[in-house]
A and B are shown apart, each in its own frame.
Chain A
Amino acid sequence: MAKPKLKEHRIRMDWCKGCGICVAFCPKSVLELDAQDKVSVARAEDCICCRLCELRCPDMAIEVVVEQEGLQ
């Protein structure tokens, strides 16, 4: 299976409470908190689509959307 390729981080800004869990445990430091203490994507090109931010978000505010390769 090919490596998943990032399309986007879909973020529900109104659901994010800025707890910083996704930022703290991202293995590639892709995410940051912005001036309003909400999650923002600082280094999207480093994302390895491990989805740990999505799985650990207590507010279900972040989703990692990957490119469909068109194989299936």
Chain B
Amino acid sequence: MPVRDYIRERFFPHLWCPGCGHGIVMNALIRAVESLGLSKNEIVMVSGIGCSARISGYLDFHTLHTIHGRALAFATGVKLGLPGLNILVPMGDGDALAIGGNHFIHAARRNIEITAIIMNNRIYGMTGGQFSPLSGYGTRATTAPYTNIDHAFDVVTLSLAAGATFVARTTTYHVQQMIDFFKKAILHEGFSVVEVLSQCPTYFGRKNKMGSAAEMMAYFRDHTTPIGSKAKKENPDLIERGIFVHKELPEYCREYDKVIERAMGKGK
């Protein structure tokens, strides 16, 4: 199916800024869905609030644009009600890990079959460039003009500790890898997290003098490395890209069905 059939053209051009990485994530997600041959009717996209959450308006799946940080709670409800559907939950870094931090760790702990995509641009873009829990120590934001003193979460180690059974990280520069990870995450039977380092040239880039969108993507190219590479040993500051965990554990909806069976058996 042509890529344009997956979008709601009436909302284009979209309102994301020129060079916004979220558009690249959307582009890659469409190509992953297209190459898996999934029907639009098999997919439910649930988003929260923020620049990232606009994606659910632009894509022509079943879509829910819900409340800030609670996309995973709504998604859990949808999945338990209709376990046959594929649930995609794109979130911003603030939406997923500040406002929705608790929903995030508990969805991961339950291992419910949901694909969580964290579009990490390290800033709250929609509200004017406030620092987020992913901005990191020493960065600048509208609310940190004298540099940020908060340390950042590491999305990968947080997800691993919370119990996610598929965890991957890539960037908007590495589009082919991003498409591949999205495909694997969608097919994975369990809670999957894909962190995509995404650029916000309007706020994070401008406040931290990182240049244009293309220069920010070149930064991702030059400051990331495949997991366990020689370059990482030589320069520990590089950010690792790749699949950190991909394992099978009992999935929540299937386990819930077993509980129903046990309860029905007991009643007889």
Which residue of chain A has the shortest Cβ distance to B215 in the bound complex? A24
Which residue of chain A has the shortest Cβ distance to B27 in the bound complex? A60
Q: Is A42 an interface residue (CB 8 A)?
A: no
Q: Across the interface, do B175 and A58 meet the contact criterion of CB distance under 8 Å? A: no
- SS of B interface (majority): helix
- SS of A interface (majority): loop
Q: A17-B13, A55-B175 are in contact. Are A24 and B23 (CB under 8 A)?
A: no
Count of inter-chain pairs, beta carbons less than 8 A: 75
Q: Is B12 an interface residue (CB 8 A)?
A: yes
Which residue of chain B has the shortest Cβ distance to A15 in the bound complex? B13
Number of interface residues of B (CB under 8 A): 31
Q: Across the interface, do A55 and B28 meet the contact criterion of CB distance under 8 Å? A: yes
Complex Cα gap A59–B21 (Å)? 10
Q: Across the interface, do B12 and A58 meet the contact criterion of CB distance under 8 Å? A: no
Q: Across the interface, do A21 and B28 meet the contact criterion of CB distance under 8 Å? A: no
Q: A55-B31, A56-B172 are in contact. Are A19 and B13 (CB under 8 A)?
A: no
Which residue of chain B has the shortest Cβ distance to A37 in the bound complex? B18
Q: Is B260 an interface residue (CB 8 A)?
A: no
Q: Across the interface, do B175 and A20 meet the contact criterion of CB distance under 8 Å? A: no
Q: A19-B214, A20-B213, A20-B214 are in contact. Are A56 and B18 (CB under 8 A)?
A: no
Q: Across the interface, do B214 and A21 meet the contact criterion of CB distance under 8 Å? A: yes
Partner of B23 from the list A20, A52, A58 (CB cut-off 8 Å) is A58
Set of chain B residues within 8 Å of A59, measured between Cβ atoms:
12-14, 16, 23
**B147 → A minimal CB distance (Å):** 27
Q: Across the interface, do B23 and A60 meet the contact criterion of CB distance under 8 Å? A: yes
**A63 → B minimal CB distance (Å):** 8
Q: List 27 contacting pairs A-B, 8 Å CB cutoff, sorted by A.
A: A12-B12, A17-B13, A17-B19, A19-B201, A19-B212, A20-B19, A20-B213, A20-B214, A21-B214, A24-B217, A25-B214, A55-B28, A55-B176, A56-B217, A57-B27, A58-B16, A58-B20, A58-B21, A58-B23, A58-B24, A58-B27, A59-B13, A59-B16, A60-B12, A60-B23, A60-B26, A61-B13
